[in-house]
Structure 1
């Protein structure tokens, strides 16, 4: 199955999740993520702000704010290019491209370190830690520059047969679903 078909099928499955299941799954995924992070000394969390049909990232952002961990969120700065900017709370966000919440202009741009964790969005994932994003290549271009820990959050319905990877695709280090943590 090609990327467009996988993307479409996975989005439909994700959209069709019952709201009660989605809420319960979000909580399970958040708890698994906290267990994974508990054994790491992270200095910064780089994460997207989730859309309603994605795994909810707001609890992990709140967790990082409360723990004093630096939080950075992406903003599209040019066609196909994004950068991450430090935010101190949700008031530092505004609606940007694709109706995604992005940092307001004027905030400090920061780059991940070896002690950072990047939460990566996606539409479909496989057990080989591959992902299919939304089709713009923003994350693959960005992630290719760093050797930071990459974690994808997904519902089990987003797991598919092996994805045929392309040269520029960047694999995840972990994929966390409500059922399991997939790692190398």
Structure 2
């Protein structure tokens, strides 16, 4: 490699680093703003808007055909999956994510009496690891955009996890969390479809 090529590579690396830092700073500010707005929601607003989302999802053929579905357990006024779980418990199998080190394992949801507080204070099933087939993933996010990009809490757990599942992925959020274009990097994984309390994309 000659001197000019080395210089070009150095400049490219610095540009990439600058871009990554810029996007990460944008994400941090957006996370703070959206988390603050979401945390200010009342229990009644969470219930009403979450119900509107699940009503839409339940009309989807992908949901109706799915036998085993991964959902998350809600925290900090996230779209409340307990509504969906209570409606369909016994009719479909649900598995929930459990954070282990830097990865996610799936454990079957057996009811509210079989949960324990896990990492970050999120409730997790106390059942064995589930290794069966998953038909549908329902994924939380602090921010989604109209290009199906997702911005999460910043740990990268879902980005690493979603790579392994080639099944429909539904992103759920409140309508104020959906924007035209989100700041994203190459490792941010997209979803197949997005549901808010007001609309569906995909």
1:123 offset after TM fit, Å?
0.6
1:52 offset after TM fit, Å?
4.2
Q: Quick one: which of 117, 139, 157 aligns to 2:158?
A: 139
Q: RMSD over aligned Cα, in angstroms?
A: 1.8
Name the CA distance, whole Å, in 2 between partners of 1:38 and 1:120: 15
1:87 offset after TM fit, Å?
2.4
- Name the residue aligned to 2:97: 74
Name the CA distance, whole Å, in 1 between partners of 2:27 and 2:133: 29
1:110 is aligned to 2:131: yes
1:85 is aligned to 2:107: yes
Name the CA distance, whole Å, in 2 between partners of 1:10 and 1:58: 22
- Name the residue aligned to 2:88: 64
Greater relative contact order (CA < 8 Å, ≥ 6 in sequence): 1
1:66 offset after TM fit, Å?
3.1
Deviations 1:79-112 (A, max 9, x none): x2111011222222111111101121x5132254
Structure of higher CA gyration radius: 2
1:27 is aligned to 2:51: yes
The question of whether the paired residues in 2 share the 8 Å contact of 1:46 and 1:112 is answered with no
TM-score in terms of structure 1 length: 0.88
Q: Tell me the matched-pair count.
A: 178
The question of whether the paired residues in 2 share the 8 Å contact of 1:87 and 1:107 is answered with no
Structure 1 segments (4+ residues) deviating >3 Å:
37-40
TM-score in terms of structure 2 length: 0.81
The structure richer in strand per residue is 1
Structure 1: stretches of 5+ with no match in the other structure: none
Name the CA distance, whole Å, in 2 between partners of 1:39 and 1:175: 13
1:70 offset after TM fit, Å?
1.6
Describe the shift of the 1:62–1:38 C-alpha distance in structure 2 as closer, same or farther (beyond 3 A).
farther
The question of whether the paired residues in 2 share the 8 Å contact of 1:45 and 1:64 is answered with no
The structure richer in helix per residue is 2
Name the CA distance, whole Å, in 1 between partners of 2:110 and 2:142: 28
1:24 offset after TM fit, Å?
1.5
